[in-house]
A and B are shown apart, each in its own frame.
Chain A
Amino acid sequence: MAEKRERYQNRIELLQGTLDLLILQTLQWGPQHGYGISVAIRNHSGELLQVDTGSLYPALHRLEKQKWIKAEWKISENKQRAKYYRLSATGKRQLTKERSKWSQLSDAIAGVLNPEQR
């Protein structure tokens, strides 16, 4: 795989629903604003996943509406007002659910891709 090139291809198409999982997981480490979330996902994925703002903000607002995350305006470390999102109690439960769903899915896909290891 030509990883270098892939990286600058800017993004791997995220599977439907995986962005929600990534956002919830990122917020597990503490409240964060939109820009911070996108940076975190990029860094944690080894620059492989670059989240499109056109998907990120709709997802954040949707999750907020579903009450899995809560938003509040805070002053950032740079003395700047920013909208911080944090995980709610139901969000935590949702995260557990999503994680186990994801590991089942990746096990299953791995099984299909490498049948001889079974």
Chain B
Amino acid sequence: MRFWRRRRREAELEEEVRSHLEMAARQRVEHGADEGEAARAARREFGNMGLVKETTRDAWGWGFFDRLMQDLRFGVRMIAKSPGFAAVAILTLALGIGANIALFSVVNAVLLNPLPYPEPEQLVALHESKPNFETGSIALPNFQDWRKDNRTFSMMAISRGYWFNLTGLGDAEQLRAEFVSTDFLPLLGVKPVLGRMFVEGEDEIGASPIVMISEGLWNRKFGGAPDVLGKAITLDGRSYTIVGVVPASFNLQVGYFRTRELYVPLGQWNNPLLKSRAGGLGLHGIGRLKPGVTIEQGRADMQRVTEDLAAAYPEADKGIGATLLPLREQVVGNVRVLLLVLLAAVAFVLLISCVNVANLLAVRAMARAREFAVRAALGAGQGRIVRQLLTESVLLAVAGGGLGLLLAAWGTKAALQRLPQGLPRASEVGLDGRILVFTAAISLLSGMLFGLAPALRISRPNVHDTLKEGGRGAGGKKHRAQGFLVVAELAMALVLLIGAGLMIRSISALWSVNPGFDSRDILTFGVSLPPSMKGANADGIRAALREVQRKLETTPGVQSVSLSWAAVPLSSDDEDLFWLDGQPRPASENEMNWTLSYVVEEDYLKVMGILLEHGRFFTAQDNERAAHVVVVDDVFARKFFGDQDPIGKRVNLNSKGGMAEIVGVVGHVKQWGLDSDDKQPLRAQLYFPFMQLPDEAMRLSATGTGVLARLDPHVPGTADAIRTALKRMNNDQVMFSVQTMEEIIADSLAARRVSMIVLGVFAVLALGLASMGIYGVISYVVGQRTREIGIRIALGAKRMEVLRMVLREGMKMTVLGVVIGFLAALALTQLMASMLYGVSATDPLTFAGVAAILMIVALVASYVPARRAMRVDPIVALRYE
């Protein structure tokens, strides 16, 4: 309807203007002019008819929308007219925008919104600080006193991961569980889908066994039936009553905490050390500060509490404090640097693709100069032409953005599967409103960005000259702006290349680090004995484990095998306290020496390929009936014995049955990771024979013992064969947590590897785009100067000189780009210093190498059009004009 009205007004305006002209002409005729002359004079007096109509239409007040539609229609037509240009531009933008969306969706989930819980700023992570360890495990009795004595927390909770063996409900399986204190889930604002939370007192030792299950497990095992409440499930052979279902939307990875399938009150943990104030059981906490309390006030309060405890229990608590960290930090942690570096990189890619499209548009605008001159002559104002051009470029950007969104949605999913497991909240990454807004904003912005410069330049045409020249602009100045764009592109590409180069150097340095063992063909997994073994005495369990061990050894494809307890390199750590023989027992545990502790069997060295430096390793005779022996690593030997031979020396192990003799020295293993092991305070390593574990520890190992096995690489499917073999021994005996050692190492490098790959992809993309840019500009310059080159050749210029002249043009831009890129890189690579290994952020070799690559690529990109210039036929060039 509006459209119809508009048609009518348009016609009326047309007629109004015509009648004006006719009347003016008639009057002139009445004054004696001849008709033709009168009409021309009336027209001249009237002025620019198009412009008058245009400004009059403005007065109707519906101009904006109409003109937008008009511009859009026209823009679509113009774009459709040159599909090749449009395809290149849209694809370039889709890559740039898509990469940004993909990364933004990750940043959105991880950095911007890391804690989807009520009042996240009140949440802190809690640890016990020990003399050599800031974020140590909290002893339950200490925690209970913290909870009772603090004045700044509204809630406090601790938890610890655990594996439960579930039986009696289909196949036996190991389930990931978390032991929690009462307030853990309420503290995070979790509301059960069904049933209730744990209430006060239910986490006490000796309370009746209850459990909350995850929504996933509820659906999987109970079909989501509401009558699950009050039912019992059998975990580690004991019956637990289900009291509630935890929603699937509850998803948290922080520190050691993960979302699990089962939540069990901490008091159910059958571990005698739980009651010990000195126990290091891997319990870590979270707390919610009271409203308005700052973390500093919380720290001061906890200092008071822990000092009081140290005074009351000097034996266990001397030197023990509390560490409070904002939970947000804990969640986001190290990935922040990674994501910020990637974000900077991806922004560069977008800028480069914008610059490229701007260049395409500029070249196209030159070709369209005549069109714009004509439009200006017909009464289009400058603003109108700029708007038309901007509409076109925004149209391109929106198309690119839409395509980019599709690419991103697909690409993010693909990329996340390769991301480090430790990336917090990775599962939350997805498209949401914020990302759509981001896409729209970034598309419009880039449309403006790459469209504005050419639009402004072209919209002030010298109508007269352009029309006369037939639209062939005269070289010179016009390509300078494009030259600057290309310089900027080259500089940005250089920065990205340097970033990627530094990452590649870091990773290769890391891969060549010797971890101290041979990581190939090692399988790690856990075995839990059937729940019926739970009540057995230590000897019974030793016998059962020996049988498991024998079974594993005879499984085809297994070369050697060792049970393992405590630490596993790069995967989990465990510590022991000791003092040297001949010294008095230290007054408190905190004055004892610390060592990493590995509890393994005689074949461990064979499995791991660790070097025996001196003395001997364990044998089958180092069993529960023999005298206790230990093996230490060279770091331990040097630290505690200096130049003396440690063999034959004895150490007092605080929690492993006292005095043991050192019988061998082995090579150091990079427990803490390939990169940071050297910088860790705790590096001494001690090996203890598995079968000599004290009885209470041996009983605990029934519910889950680690196994390391060296497999024959030529026998496929050994992991499945092991699983079958274990199951055949007993249906309720489960293999779990299967991982190869190479996977463990790869995981430890995952963040770096991902950033290397992403930076590398971005850098190659940037290099490609930049070389396209330089190719385009040189081609354009050559095209513009065809005639000049023709004259030069006709006047006797050597073709090689022409080639050199054009190449010089390209090299000038490249060198400038490299210089600017160097300066930018010097500043920007500092950002990623913490991600580098074995290479400085200003590594000269990387800088020089990357600059060389860029120069060569730029040279090739300008060589192609330069050859064309060299082959210019002077006759053709001159006749053409």
Binding site for B on A (CB under 8 A): 33-36, 39, 52-54, 57-59, 61-62, 65, 76, 78, 80-83
Q: In the docked arrangement, what's the CA distance between A80 and B24, Å? A: 13
With A53-B47, A53-B52 already in contact, the answer to whether A82 and B19 are too (CB < 8 A) is yes
Query: What residue in chain A is nearest B12 (Cβ atoms)?
Result: A83
Give chain A residues whose Cβ lies under 8 Å from the Cβ of B427.
Answer: none
- Which 10 pairs show the lowest CB-CB distances between chains A and B? A61-B59, A62-B59, A57-B56, A58-B59, A35-B23, A35-B20, A82-B19, A83-B16, A58-B55, A54-B52
Once bound together, how far apart are the Cα atoms of A38 and B207, in whole Å?
100
- Chain B 181-225, CB-CB to A under 8 Å as 1, else 0, gives 000000000000000000000000000000000000000000000
- Please tell me if the beta carbons of A65 and B61 are within 8 angstroms of each other in the complex: yes
CA distance A33 to B55 in the complex (A): 19
In the bound assembly, the distance between CA atoms of A91 and B27 in angstroms comes to 30
- Does B742 lie at the interface of the complex (its beta carbon under 8 Å from any beta carbon of A)? no
CB-contact partner of B58 in A33, A58, A80, under 8 A:
A58
Min C-beta distance of B118 to chain A, whole Å: 54
A54–B16 touching, CB < 8 Å: no
CA distance A57 to B47 in the complex (A): 12
Pick from B13, B19, B47: contact of A33, CB under 8 Å: B19
Chain B residues with CB below 8 A from A58, complex form: 55-56, 58-59
Judge whether B47 and A81 touch: CB under 8 Å. no
Contacts A81-B15, A83-B15 given; does A33 touch B23 at CB 8 Å: yes
Q: Is the CB of B16 within 8 A of A57?
A: yes
**B residues neighboring A (CB under 8 Å):** 12-13, 15-17, 19-20, 22-24, 26-27, 46-48, 51-53, 55-56, 58-61
The reply to whether A80 and B23 form a contact with Cβ atoms under 8 Å apart is: yes
Docked Cα-Cα span, A16 to B55, in Å, equals 16
Residues on A with C-beta less than 8 A from B47 are 52-54
CB B73 to nearest CB in A, in angstroms, measures 24
Given contacts A57-B56, A78-B23, 5 further A-B contacts (CB under 8 A): A35-B19, A35-B20, A54-B55, A57-B53, A65-B60
Which residue in chain B gives the minimum CB-CB distance to A78? B26
Chain A nearest Cβ from B51, distance in angstroms:
6
**For residue B46, which residues in chain A have a CB less than 8 angstroms away from its CB?**
53
**Chain B residues, Cβ within 8 Å of A81:** 15, 19
Closest chain A CB from B380 CB (angstroms) = 14
Q: With a CB–CB cut-off of 8 A, which chain A residues contact B52?
A: 53-54, 57
Q: How far is the CA of A59 from the CA of B60 in the complex (A)?
A: 10
Contacts of B48 in A (CB 8 A): 54
Closest B residue, CB atoms, query A61: B59
In the bound complex, CA of A88 to CA of B80 (Å) = 50
Give the contacting residue for B23; candidates A53, A54, A62, A82; CB below 8 A: A82
A62 proximity list for chain B (CB < 8 A): 59
Counting chain B CB atoms within 10 Å of each CB, the highest count among A36, A61, A78 belongs to A61
User: Which residues of B lie under 8 Å from residue A59 when comparing CB positions?
Assistant: 59
Tell me how far the C-beta of A30 lies from the nearest C-beta in chain B, rounded to whole angstroms.
16
Instruction: Tell whether, in the assembled complex, residue B20 and residue A53 are in contact, meaning their CB atoms are under 8 Å apart.
Output: yes
Shortest CB distance A112–B (Å) = 33
9 intermolecular pairs with C-beta atoms under 8 Å apart: A35-B19, A53-B20, A54-B55, A57-B59, A58-B56, A59-B59, A80-B22, A81-B19, A83-B19
Task: Give CA–CA (A82, B56) in the complex, Å.
Answer: 17
Cross-chain contact A65 with B23 (CB below 8 angstroms): no
Q: In the complex, A80 Cα to B55 Cα: how many Å?
A: 25
Within the complex, the shortest CB–CB distance from B715 to chain A, in Å, comes to 88
Distance, CA A34 to CA B23, complexed state (A)? 10
> Beyond A54-B47, A65-B61, A82-B23, is A34–B16 a contact (Cβ under 8 Å)?
yes
- Per the bound structure, the CA–CA distance linking A39 and B27 in Å amounts to 11
Q: Please, how many angstroms separate the alpha-carbon atoms of A57 and B56 in the complex? A: 6
| Across-interface contacts of B60 in A (CB, < 8 A) | 61, 65
Residues on the B chain within 8 Å of A33, using CB: 16, 19-20, 23
CB-defined contacts of B55 to chain A, threshold 8 Å: 54, 57-58
CB nearest neighbor in A for B51:
A54
Query: CA A36 – CA B17 in complex, angstroms?
Result: 12
Residue ID in chain B nearest A63 by CB atoms: B59
Closest residue of chain A to B60 (Cβ to Cβ) is A61
User: How far does the alpha carbon of A24 sit from the alpha carbon of B479 in the complex, in Å?
Assistant: 54
Tell me the bound Cα distance from A61 to B52 in angstroms.
12
**Which of B24, B27, B56 has the most chain A CB atoms closer than 10 A to its own CB?**
B56
In the complex, what residues of B have CB within 8 A of residue A78's CB?
23, 26
Specify which chain B residues have a CB less than 8 angstroms from the CB of A76 in the assembled complex.
Answer: 19, 23
Bound Cα distance from A78 to B60, whole angstroms: 29
Residue of A53, A54, A65, A80 near B19 (CB, 8 A) is A80
Residues of chain B contacted by A65 (CB below 8 angstroms): 59-61
* Cβ–Cβ contact B20 & A34, under 8 A: yes
Among B15, B16, B51, B61: residue with most chain A CB under 10 A: B16
| Closest B residue, CB atoms, query A57 | B56
Task: Choose among B17, B23, B26, B53 the residue with the greatest number of A CB atoms under 10 Å from its CB.
Answer: B23
Cα distance A33–B19 when bound, in Å?
9
- Take A57-B16, A83-B16 as given contacts and tell me if A35 and B24 are in contact as well, using a CB distance cutoff of 8 Å: yes
Complex Cα gap A62–B55 (Å): 11
Taking CB atoms, residues of chain B closer than 8 Å to A80 are 19, 22-23
On chain A, the residues within 8 Å of B61 by CB distance are 65
Rounded to whole angstroms, the CA-CA distance of A52 and B58 in the bound complex is: 16
Residue in B closest to A62 when the chains form the complex, CB atoms? B59
State how many angstroms separate the Cβ of A10 from the closest Cβ of chain B.
10
Q: Which residue of B lies closest to A81 (CB)?
A: B19
- When the two chains form their complex, are residues A61 and B19 in contact, meaning their CB atoms are under 8 A apart? no
Quick check: A61 and B23 within 8 Å, CB to CB?
A: no
A82 and B51 alpha carbons, distance in the complex (Å): 21
Q: How far is the CA of A59 from the CA of B27 in the complex (A)?
A: 24
**Considering the chains assembled together, what is the distance between the CA atoms of A118 and B879 in angstroms?**
80
- How many Å from the CB of B22 to the closest CB on chain A? 7
Task: Give bound CA distance, A59 to B15, whole Å.
Answer: 17
Give the docked Cα–Cα distance between A83 and B15 (Å).
9
Chain B contacts for A82, CB-based, 8 A: 16, 19, 23
Q: Kindly state the separation between the CA atoms of A106 and B16 in the bound complex, as whole angstroms.
A: 34
Cα distance A82–B19 in the bound complex, in angstroms: 6
Q: What's the least CB distance linking B255 to chain A, in Å? A: 67
Q: How far is the CB of B28 from chain A (nearest CB, A)?
A: 12
Return chain B residues, CB-CB under 8 Å to A83: 12, 15-16, 19
Contacts of A61 in B (CB 8 A): 56, 59-60
- Residue of chain B at shortest CB distance from A59: B59
Please measure, in the bound complex, the distance between the C-alpha atom of A53 and the C-alpha atom of B17, giving whole angstroms: 9
Chain A neighbourhood of B27, CB < 8 A:
39
The smallest beta-carbon distance between B56 and chain A, in angstroms, is 4
Query: Would you give the shortest CB distance from B463 to chain A, in whole angstroms?
Result: 18
Minimum CB–CB distance from B149 to chain A (whole Å) comes to 77
Q: How far is the CA of A25 from the CA of B20 in the complex (A)?
A: 20
Query: Could you tell me the distance between the alpha carbons of A76 and B20 in the complex, rounded to whole angstroms?
Result: 12
> What are the residues of chain B within 8 A of A34 when measuring CB–CB?
16, 20
Question: In the bound complex, what is the Cα–Cα distance between A34 and B15 (angstroms)?
Answer: 12
Minimum CB–CB distance for A58 against chain B, Å: 4
Instruction: Report the nearest A residue to B53, measured CB to CB.
Output: A57
CB distance from A89 to the nearest CB of B (A): 22
CB distance from A55 to the nearest CB of B (A): 8
Tell me the complex Cα distance, A31–B561, Å. Answer: 109
What's the least CB distance linking B188 to chain A, in Å? 60
CB distance from A19 to the nearest CB of B (A): 12
In whole angstroms, what is the CA distance A80 to B27 when docked?
A: 13
